[in-house]
Structure 1
Amino acid sequence: MELYIKSWATWMPSPSKDGAIAPEQPALSQVPAMTRRRLSKMTKLAFDVALQTIEQQDTTALPTIFASRHGDLHKTLMLLQQLGEKEPLSPSQFALSVHNAISGQFSMYSQNQADSNAIAAGADSLHYAILEAAARFCSEPDLKQLLVVYADEPVPEPYQQFCQDPSIPIALAILLHRNEGELVKFSMQHNEQSQAESDQALKLLPFLQGELEQLTLAGQQRQWQWCKAKKCNS
């Protein structure tokens, strides 16, 4: 499948001077303070990369795909703990904990009336979002561009024994276009022996940054392959 990457942006914690990871968040100065206060940390990450990627774009009719392995799991854990203590739950907090909450918040903020979807597919969540985008370009001849946004955080401490993916908070947005931008080839190969590797968004960055011409990442029973079009063998 051929895809055109028109623009992209990423966010991750920047190392402090002593090499430790600084616990920072995007400033989101362009978002009104009243709106910003309602955003969770992960939502701020998604907003930051999405807004960087669609700068100077018309966002009122831009289809979007939001992907996350865990969603806002910190908020969900808080609600579960409240249930365990038999405390009343906040309807607004519950509404903002569901997997498509970020999509809804971003649509309202950007006044985007186009369709949006939310995807959770384990460690392969980012790549399944890309796969859906590619399928839509193939099946919708009038589709001009589509925004893919991936965001995730390390899971809360109670879940650390079960999963350490991702290893750092990270967000990535890719604006795909039908015929504008850098042409790349994206494919999925079935492999029953393959085990999904962690930090797939982080490992994709060298390809997006131009440090690699080709990249293969292991997914669950499949391989995800990226290639700069001019360097592909076929």
Structure 2
Amino acid sequence: MPDLHWTIPVGRWSSWPATAPAAPDIGFIEPIVRRRLSTLSKVALKVAHDCVAREPVRVVFASRHGELRRTTDILRSISAGEPVSPTAFSLSVLNAMTGVFGIARGDRSAASAVSAGAQTLGYALLEAYAQYAAQPGSPVLLVYADEPADRAYGTIEDEVQGGAIALLLDQEASTGHIVCSLSRADGSPHADEAAADDVSSFPTQSQALLHCLETGQPARWQHAGALWHWRWHDRAA
């Protein structure tokens, strides 16, 4: 695994906690659409809306499980011989939120979706950076939203915590920068440096990144020989 390092200009960011007692208010979505959305899509749309104005923006949506709970309900209906709602089916895809968001804003900008197991958020940050670096004059919105899988799937290794985070990559409106790195967690120099610095370690990537955004302190997450590390800077290094 090659060591990777990249710096993301953060124009705005927003989050929604997994512990919230109710779904957020998304009044900017039409009621007929809003009532059909899952909690996952609602929290994703909430943080996305917090980060953008009316200007067009490319979107990278990231989720390990996506609309798996909706898909599971569809499979249960099929197994029971019950009819499946066409609307439920159309909203069961991983990137359902990006379609709803684009339609609500009248924005036809490119949208993509990333799912990479327990490392989904990290690789989504890399994808968002790659898109931004290819066209820095056009902002990129990264939206991460997830929820634990249905209990029908049993124990999930490195299960997600849930909740949502959105980051707007925009150099012009940048309030600071997130320095991201990915290296081997097998005694490589970068891994040793992170350990020596006594950087806080977290059970999920989303918890680590949120800690960095909220406190300005570095954070790391380790999994399957990979060490992810995030640091906040007021200005690019």
Give the TM bin, normalised by the shorter chain. 0.7 to 0.9
Q: Residue 209 of structure 1: SS of its match in structure 2? A: helix
Q: Does 1:170 align with 2:163?
A: yes
Whole-Å separation in 2 of the counterparts to 1:158 and 1:37? 25
Shift of 1:187: 1.7
Aligned to 1:205: 210
Q: Which residue of 2 aligns with 1:82?
A: 77
Q: Provide, for residues 64-113 of structure 1, a one-character-per-residue CA deviation record: whole Å limited to 9, x for no partner.
A: 00000001111011011112123332232111101121111111111111
Contact 2:14 2:47 survives alignment (8 Å): yes
Identity value in percent? 30
* 1:48-197 to 2 correspondences below 5 Å: 48-54=46-52, 57-59=53-55, 61-138=56-133, 140-163=134-157, 165-167=159-161, 169-179=162-172, 180-191=174-185
Q: Counterparts of 1:71 and 1:52 in 2: how far apart (Å)?
A: 20
Amino acid aligned to 1:47: L
Q: Which amino acid aligns with 2:207?
A: L
Instruction: Between 62-71 and 215-224, report the one with greater CA deviation.
Output: 215-224
Contact kept? 2:183, 2:228, Cα under 8 Å: yes
Q: Indicate if the aligned counterparts of 2:203 and 2:221 stay in contact, CA closer than 8 A.
A: no
Q: Which of 2, 19, 40 is the equivalent residue of 1:42?
A: 40
Cα pair 1:137 1:178 within 8 Å, conserved = no
User: Take 1:39 and 1:108, find their aligned partners in 2: how far apart are those partners?
Assistant: 14
Q: Cα–Cα, structure 1 residues 231 and 224, in superposed 2: closer, same or farther, change >3 Å?
A: farther
Partners of 1:151 and 1:175 in 2: CA distance? 15
Are the aligned partners of 1:170 and 1:202 in contact in 2 as well (CA < 8 Å)? no
Q: CA deviation at 1:144?
A: 2.9
Matched residues in 2 for 1:155 and 1:88: separation?
A: 23
Q: CA deviation at 1:185?
A: 1.6
Paired position in structure 2 for 1:222: 226
Contact 1:155 1:163 in 2 (8 A): no
Instruction: Provide the C-alpha distance between the structure 2 equivalents of 1:163 and 1:87, rounded to a whole number of angstroms.
Output: 32
Equivalent AA in structure 2 for residue 6 of structure 1: G
Decide which moves more: 179-188 or 43-52.
Answer: 179-188
Q: Deviations over 1:13-54 (max 9, x none)?
A: 45xxxxxxx631102233332221121111101011111111
8 Å contact kept, 2:18–2:164: no
1:189/1:13 CA distance change after superposition, 3 Å: closer
CA deviations 1:167-211 (Å, max 9, x no partner) are: 3x30110111135330232121134699xx743212321210124
The 2-side partners of 1:127 and 1:92 are apart by: 31
What is the CA distance between 1:231 and its match in structure 2?
9.8
TM-fit CA distance, 1:230: 6.5
Q: Is the 8 A contact 2:60 2:143 kept in 1?
A: yes
Q: Could you state the TM-score of these two structures normalised by the residue count of structure 2? A: 0.82
Partner of 2:16: 11
Structure 1 residues without counterparts, runs of 5 or longer? 15-21
Amino acid at match of 1:222: A
